[in-house]
Amino acid sequence: MATLIIGSATSASAKNPVEKGYAKRFADSEISRFPEAWMLDYCTAPFFGYSQGVGCSAMLAVWQQTGDRFYFDYVEKLADTLVNEAGEIHRYEPLKYNLDFINSGKYLFDCYAVTGKEKYRKAMEALLEQVRHQPRTSDGGFWHKLRYEHQMWLDGLYMCSPFLAQYGATFNEPQWIEEAVKQIKLCHLHTHDPATGLYHHAWDESRSQRWADPATGHSPSFWGRSIGWWFMALVDNLDFIPATHPDRTEIIGYVEGLAAAVVKYQRGGLWYQVMDCPEREGNYPEASVTTQFMYALAKAVNKGYIDRKYRKNAIEALAAIKDKLMLELEDGTLSLTQCCAVGGLGGNPYRDGSFEYYINERVHDNDAKATGPFIMACIELEK
């Protein structure tokens, strides 16, 4: 049995919903639900999945915030399970050229730095080997997967480019920072919509997909979570792009433009599954896009990329999540509701990228694609 956190749980934080320790409390709730990190997002067996990568990144952020080794150990236990002494990753299939696999490489940096286990460096190098051979569009943009020919997806920019930039910065291999910057600029070029300031979920260079606009190659809808991935990718990449880099100012401009665009579509503190039509019948406030924007806005303010006025939008998102999307269960754990489970394009059955497709994808609670950004967002707001 669960009850919405209404009344006493929110009245004390109504004026200031940013509670010290709230990120840790929610992280503890996730660990209670998923005692092993591979279980995050309801995974049934150990896997180097991107959802687990998001969740583990959040746990490492809690470790860095609190200094409590417990959260690091939760992540490193998974890494130690998945990566053998040769640096081979369990169930990793590099020849699928799936950018989603790269995301979990992000938690290997801390695992390597703290433990010194050479196998983690080898695993990161294996991920780079995939990227070296990743199929590309004619101008050099990564295909999202081998089976998604000629397509760049916003999702892929979060999955891969911050890993590349961090690798380049960590191991003094600046060519990987340059590759990350190149991918960002190409994705902006091919998916940005000047009329709204938003970004299309994907672009098909070949225009062969049924979802692709014959003139532009764009997918037809502004799916919230895909834009959330992109927004997070921008602010996370900037952690590793040097202040002197000639394209840094341009990328910060993307952050500024997107911040100005997304706040126009915030309703009651929340953002909706299909971004640009929150009032349309059937659309609904969705947890992952809301937590992703909350994180990106709060971090961008903290880093000085955007005006401090946007912190108000992030705080409003936190207050609305607590009031409308958060449950407190009988055991005292917190549960985040209304998370879109999955979203994509093409495939079988065919996903056409329409409004009707996105609003009818299944919804569940405590999806790591929402809970991970939520934890990281709360940490940014607590700073």
- Dihedral (CA of 161, 122, 107, 239) sign: negative
- The dihedral region occupied by 92, where left means phi > 0, alpha psi between -120 and 50, and beta the remainder, is beta
Any residues with CB less than 8 A from the CB of 21 and at least 6 apart, and which?
Answer: none
Q: Could you tell me the two tokens for 196?
A: 């709204």
- Dihedral (CA of 202, 180, 289, 46) sign: positive
Distance of CA 91 to the CA centre of its chain: 22
Position 333, amino acid: T
What length is written for the chain? 383
The total of other beta-carbon atoms located within 10 Å of residue 193's CB is 14
At what angle are helices 154-170 and 106-115 packed, to 10 degrees? 20
Q: Could you tell me the two tokens for 6?
A: 């209404």
Query: Is 48 in contact with 91 (CB distance < 8 Å)?
Result: yes
**Among 41, 155, 204, 323, which one carries the catalytic annotation?**
155
Question: Which residue is listed with tokens 């503190």?
Answer: 269
- Is 155 labeled as catalytic in the residue annotation? yes
Position 297, amino acid: L
Mind telling me the catalytic residues? 155
